[in-house]
Structure 1
Amino acid sequence: MKKIILIWFFMMFSMIFSETNSIYNTKIDMKRYPNASVVTLLDRESIIFNKDNSYIIKKHIIKRILNYKGKKASSEYKIKFDKRFEKVDIINAKTVKISKSGIKEIAVDKSKNIRIIDAPSDVGLMKYAAHKMEVIAFPAVNEGDIIDIEYTIKNNKKQKISGTVNFASREAVYNKVEIINIPKDMNFNITKFNWNTKMEYMDNIAKDRKIIKFSEKFMPQILDESNIPESLKFMPTVIFTNYNNWAEYRDELLGKFIKINKSKENLQILKEIKEKVLDKLITKDMTNMKKEEIIQDFIAKHIEIKYIDNLLDFEASSPKEILTRGYGTSLDIENLFLLLLKEEGISGEIVILGSDKLVWDDVKKGIDMNRFNYAISKVTIDNKDYFVDATNEFSKLGESVIENNIGLILDTGKPEFVNVKSIEKNITRIEKSYNIKIDLNGDALINKTIYFYGINAIGEREKYKYMTPIMKQQDYQKELGMISQNAYPISKQMDVELGSPVKISYTYKYTNFASIDGDFIYFDLPYRLDMLDLFENVRKYPFELVSDILRKNNISIEYPANYKVRIAPKSLEIKEKNMLIKRDLKIGNSNGGNKIILDTVVRYNSHIYTIEEYSKLYKILEKLNYPKNAKVLLEKE
């Protein structure tokens, strides 16, 4: 019997050794991955679930270092884990050197080459700093070498999970294997996107276990481009979860606050806050909008948000705890915010932000809870709903800190999802106004005014609210420098009004704004159509525009009375499915002086543009932005 066991063990060891050596000796095809600095020869992950939702992750990674960049990026391997309920065990870690004389393995010395540090992502999280990082330094790594690591992570949290596995990467991956091993009777939801016949999918029953396997050889490498959508929209992706439905996740979050919000101690604390703080700031004749603004400002200035990966990772904090220590999670803070609003007779609900609207149908189908990890509030005032981030002191009612995201409302009954966005007037919008007066020397006096709405307004308030006068003056000089070296200030400083919308205005002189050639004056209009970050004229992937965007320009140019317009941009209107471009040119007289008035409107709708749609849009904008389309020629009468 012992002899049979020894023979079986020897055969298994030989098979594993042979398979590993075969992986080590994989020939690298640089034509397939021309930009690679590291090639992952094997990425194998197994997740073994128990009936109580505890699980073990087994990971095996083999990488070949191709150049110095790859050596710098991969000579260390980092494993992040939660010290409260996770344990990491390094089974095997080594540097492998291959030469004509054979294979040489240099094992990682666990006493010298492995260290455990606080996870950098947890810096400043105070009470919520629960993550550690195990850092494995591979010895004597050089270009051409291989790093090989096997490890396990045991998780005893015993909580349902969701996960996403991408079968496309920014790295070059030769072989990716994902195995999910669950009890046969466990409910488990698997959703595949963009799966193809070249990829392997297996679903087998072995005694009391169910084993699901996904694998792919020569994964697509995602190269750098702007505004790439989530991979599940165009690359092979798998979402898995053992949640039965969205109500389960919502109810787990709701359950955190039931006891806290109904406790006598909590009710007493809220009463004290109202009497000692709010009643000194809020008067009876104030509108509910003003009350909301004051309470939001109080929260944002006195409580610091701590960002965590999973809203279920920590117990809820009471208002007393949050106010005493001065910080909390987004969920804790929004709960306190709504309780204080309730004291003033204003109703609201917590909303958990999830995926952007453009990928929501896929995420909803896959029941991917991981994306829902940040809380805001939906506040109802005068029968209108507004989305508010109570931690943001720079946003005003009607301005959402995020656009076109799906949110899960924390309320009983059937799960309700809402599209989180600003009210219509505060969509991602910028309006610019130019009043320009050109003299006979070709110089121009220009008054410029810019209005910022929505997210843009929030960004400007954050920039200017605490800016010193000296810094603001430096910013003014920088703005003029970006216009032209010939731009000189007339206004002593920029006028910045941080209302809603934010308004910024200033006046400057632009010498040689126009060129004079005999009886002719010619100049360029000071505007370009917004190119939407369309950096690439040819793309490899779809282009995602998450937010609706609106840009308006009004340009009024007064020129000498004895000149006539010979050449100027023509009025036009271009309508596409998700785009509107409108240009309206008028030429008329004003107080004896001639005027050109140009109004432009550009609107883009939230959309994932196919490569063909992107190419068409790029060509339209590029053509309209040709220099000749901004030229104006005047001739003396």
Structure 2
Amino acid sequence: MKKQYFFLLFITSFLFSFSQTDDKLYNYRVNLSELKMKTYEKDSTANALVLYEYGNSYVEKQNFNLVTEEKHKIKILNREGFKNATITIYLYNTKNRSEKVKDIVATTYNQTNGKVIKTKLNDKDIFREKYDDNRTLVKFTLPNIKEGSVITYSYKLISPFMFNYKSWSFQSDIPKLYSEYRASIPGNWEYNIKLVGTQKLFIDESVVKKNCLSANGGYSHCSYSTYAMKDIPAFIKEDYMTSKFNYLARIEYELKTFKGFDGRINNYTKSWKTVDKEFKTDKDIGRQLSKSVNLEEFLSNNIINEVDNYKKADAIYKYVQENYTWNGEYRIFKDVSVKDLIKNKSGNVSSINILLHNLLKEANIETKPVLVSTRNNGFPTKIYPVITDFNYLIVQVIIDNKTYLLDATDRYLSFGEIPFRCLNSYGRLMDFKKGSEWIDINPKELSTIQYRLNLNLDENANITGKISSKTTGYHALNKRKKYFQNSDSYITNLEDKFPNTEIVNHDVVKGGKTNPQFIESYDVEYSFDETGENIYLNPFFIKFFSENPFKLQERTYPIDFGYKDSFFYVLKLNFGDEYTLLEKPKDLNLTLPNNTGSIIFSSIVENNYLQILFKINFKDSMYLPEYYPYLKGFMSKIVDIQTNSLVLLKKK
């Protein structure tokens, strides 16, 4: 009897929903109404619109290549949308194998004098270029593009890399009417399937078809899945967000297991227990972390003999900061060499922080490495280990039951502070004895900005006085970098913020290169332009937010500040006996839902003095999208308050 192999596909799919879409509504054919379209009613700001796109991936029966057929139809609404007529296809390659693209067909449709004109892409206008060691680009631009054009293009992508099953992006930076993806996966390949983003599927169907693939007398069944979305909004980047790839609606595949017709089984997705073991013995990182160092070759006896563990750890941290320079490369799993770092005094992130780790460990400070994915790199997958999700390494130390995260690549970081690029919610603590675990990477302390202004208005309508400023946390880090890199430029930039103002006697009261606080003071002399006898004065000589950063109608991804922060502004203005204040500013108290933020604005007028207090608190570092309309209104109110104008009337 013929031996038979049956393989069931593991797939994290949804329940059946919706029937297949009506081809009359969404298809690849170009019609007259599409050519006549002037704007997209659901997004009047759109420069282009995907009318239809379709992808179909399947495995060739002869050589087991992964084939993906794609079709795209796009409406160019205006000149700003012309860039969508340039198409780039990325092909992955190794030394022995490479992806290929063939059957590229592209056409531009225009309506001229009531006639439809078709212009086809010539093969000579398709170009190839090397992008990097593992990627080649195939590029072409549709011909005869005009405002109102509709373009179509299709091609076939052939890949020998079944470990990298074709992902599909339903969302992009322009809106889409309809996007459909079909995937046929033989049971030999078992994938973890991840749907990313907040957009809902319009079609989500899966069926199993028998005997779809055979070899060596065996065969397997296939899972045929259809996924589709419609009326997909454009993804628009805005301030205070991490990588857009955390939120773009798409479907991704991670190979879990391959089962051959000969009975062999290869596991690709591993447990963290297995990854921990491999990581410990990895030649680049694991072995480097396990190497011992002679403290006397690096540190003074004063540091080595220090009995206070916090002071000792801080001194070791500062030693690495000051003596080794980051070369700007992450290279977390490649070219990691503490030996070369020591020799060249320069190296990548991993080399610098592994040296820091080894020195701390040798000094009997409890320390462990932490794998991180930076904000621009996206969130690492938590469901199963994907070691390539990480691109950065920092160090955790525990001193007197208190935990600190360290990164010695930046000479301006204070002890326990890591770069803003690392504030990406969580990381993986690599404990080779107890096993790795996820830890939160969120600064516990507030970052603050405080200004105190004590000013006087004289009889000649000049304002003089003193401004004192105190910043902490990441606000202080930014100030320290600017000041200590070029103090003259720093003061010049201060003056640029104050039109018609001269700054004198600038003094940094507190704030070494790594001090967690930066305190400064300076005298100001402000002269008004001629405005008649009365004075129109904005009491906010310093603005925390000059405009509202939130401008979208709706935001579907979190608002991620990276850290909690607070802003404080106090003005005491003596307007003297020559003037009287026409109207006192109105007080205001405002809070965000669940008391996650607040605004306090108050003013007092007494004995020729105006005192203003303005305080803003953001009590969370990250806000869910539901908070967006409240934050938008919150920021709008902050901007409004800072545009208050006072009218000082000249006494008769």
- The TM-score with structure 1 as length reference comes to 0.74
Pairing partner for 1:135 from 124, 132, 138: 138
Aligned to 2:155: 150
After superposition, where does 1:560-575 map in structure 2 within 5 Å? Answer: 560=576, 567-569=583-585, 572-575=588-591
Task: Give, in whole Å, the separation in 2 of the partners of 1:168 and 1:243.
Answer: 26
Go from structure 1 to structure 2 and tell me whether the alpha carbon gap of 1:65 and 1:253 turns closer, same or farther (over 3 Å shift).
farther
Aligned to 1:75: 86
Go from structure 1 to structure 2 and tell me whether the alpha carbon gap of 1:78 and 1:428 turns closer, same or farther (over 3 Å shift).
farther
**What displacement does 1:46 show?**
5.2
Pairing partner for 1:108 from 117, 123, 141: 123
**What displacement does 1:414 show?**
6.1
Matched, 1:477 2:492: yes
**Contact 2:370–2:427 under 8 Å retained in 1:** yes
Task: Give, in whole Å, the separation in 1 of the partners of 2:504 and 2:438.
Answer: 51
Task: Give, in whole Å, the separation in 1 of the partners of 2:547 and 2:136.
Answer: 36
Matched, 1:62 2:81: no
**What displacement does 1:551 show?**
0.6
Letter aligned with residue 208 of structure 2: N
Matched, 1:256 2:271: no
Pairing partner for 1:419 from 440, 449, 457: 440
Aligned to 1:199: 203
Aligned to 2:214: none
After superposition, where does 1:441-456 map in structure 2 within 5 Å? Answer: 441-456=460-475
Residue-by-residue CA offset, 1:53-87 (whole Å, 9 max, x unaligned):
x9846352535473554444533524163545762
After superposition, where does 1:300-449 map in structure 2 within 5 Å? Answer: 301-307=324-330, 314-315=333-334, 317-323=336-342, 330-354=349-373, 364=382, 372-402=390-420, 403=423, 405-412=425-432, 413=434, 416-424=437-445, 427-449=446-468
**What displacement does 1:91 show?**
1.2
Pairing partner for 2:317 from 283, 290, 293: 293
Q: Match of 2:521, SS? A: strand
**What displacement does 1:395 show?**
1.3
**Contact 1:42–1:62 under 8 Å retained in 2:** yes
After superposition, where does 1:16-31 map in structure 2 within 5 Å? Answer: 23-26=28-31, 28=34, 29-31=37-39
**What displacement does 1:284 show?**
3.1
Task: Give, in whole Å, the separation in 2 of the partners of 1:98 and 1:411.
Answer: 60
Q: Match of 2:180, SS? A: strand
Residue-by-residue CA offset, 1:264-305 (whole Å, 9 max, x unaligned):
99736x33xx44333489463482243243244146x43424
* Structure 2: gaps (5+ residues): 1-22, 212-219, 258-267
Aligned to 1:220: 233
**Contact 1:429–1:551 under 8 Å retained in 2:** yes
Letter aligned with residue 101 of structure 2: I
Letter aligned with residue 93 of structure 1: I
Task: Give, in whole Å, the separation in 2 of the partners of 1:239 and 1:355.
Answer: 20
Task: Give, in whole Å, the separation in 2 of the partners of 1:86 and 1:564.
Answer: 82
Task: Give, in whole Å, the separation in 1 of the partners of 2:238 and 2:409.
Answer: 32
**Contact 2:456–2:463 under 8 Å retained in 1:** yes
Task: Give, in whole Å, the separation in 2 of the partners of 1:489 and 1:368.
Answer: 53
**What displacement does 1:600 show?**
2.8
Task: Give, in whole Å, the separation in 2 of the partners of 1:387 and 1:319.
Answer: 20
Aligned to 1:621: 638
Aligned to 1:550: 566
Q: How large is the Cα RMSD of the aligned pairs?
A: 4.6
* Structure 1: gaps (5+ residues): 1-17, 120-129
**What displacement does 1:232 show?**
9.4
**Contact 1:449–1:506 under 8 Å retained in 2:** yes
Letter aligned with residue 627 of structure 1: N
Task: Give, in whole Å, the separation in 2 of the partners of 1:632 and 1:439.
Answer: 16
Task: Give, in whole Å, the separation in 1 of the partners of 2:38 and 2:302.
Answer: 67
Task: Give, in whole Å, the separation in 1 of the partners of 2:413 and 2:468.
Answer: 21
Q: Match of 2:410, SS? A: coil
Task: Give, in whole Å, the separation in 2 of the partners of 1:198 and 1:265.
Answer: 49
Letter aligned with residue 448 of structure 2: R
**Contact 1:162–1:369 under 8 Å retained in 2:** no
Go from structure 1 to structure 2 and tell me whether the alpha carbon gap of 1:609 and 1:179 turns closer, same or farther (over 3 Å shift).
closer
**What displacement does 1:242 show?**
4.3
Task: Give, in whole Å, the separation in 1 of the partners of 2:368 and 2:67.
Answer: 37
**Contact 1:428–1:548 under 8 Å retained in 2:** yes
Q: Match of 2:98, SS? A: strand
Task: Give, in whole Å, the separation in 2 of the partners of 1:101 and 1:568.
Answer: 66
Go from structure 1 to structure 2 and tell me whether the alpha carbon gap of 1:65 and 1:564 turns closer, same or farther (over 3 Å shift).
closer
Aligned to 1:524: 538
**Contact 2:449–2:470 under 8 Å retained in 1:** yes
Task: Give, in whole Å, the separation in 1 of the partners of 2:490 and 2:288.
Answer: 52
Task: Give, in whole Å, the separation in 1 of the partners of 2:387 and 2:269.
Answer: 8
Residue-by-residue CA offset, 1:399-436 (whole Å, 9 max, x unaligned):
33234622222225565322213341xx3321122221
Letter aligned with residue 408 of structure 1: R
Letter aligned with residue 477 of structure 1: T
Q: Match of 2:497, SS? A: helix
Aligned to 2:548: 534
More helix by share: 1
Go from structure 1 to structure 2 and tell me whether the alpha carbon gap of 1:512 and 1:140 turns closer, same or farther (over 3 Å shift).
closer
Task: Give, in whole Å, the separation in 1 of the partners of 2:435 and 2:52.
Answer: 43
Range 524-533 or range 381-390, more displaced: 524-533
Task: Give, in whole Å, the separation in 2 of the partners of 1:297 and 1:331.
Answer: 14
Range 171-180 or range 88-97, more displaced: 171-180
Letter aligned with residue 464 of structure 1: Y
**Contact 2:453–2:468 under 8 Å retained in 1:** yes
Q: Match of 1:390, SS? A: coil
Task: Give, in whole Å, the separation in 1 of the partners of 2:530 and 2:365.
Answer: 57
**Contact 1:495–1:506 under 8 Å retained in 2:** no
**What displacement does 1:338 show?**
0.9
Go from structure 1 to structure 2 and tell me whether the alpha carbon gap of 1:63 and 1:227 turns closer, same or farther (over 3 Å shift).
farther
Aligned to 2:100: 89
Go from structure 1 to structure 2 and tell me whether the alpha carbon gap of 1:89 and 1:455 turns closer, same or farther (over 3 Å shift).
same
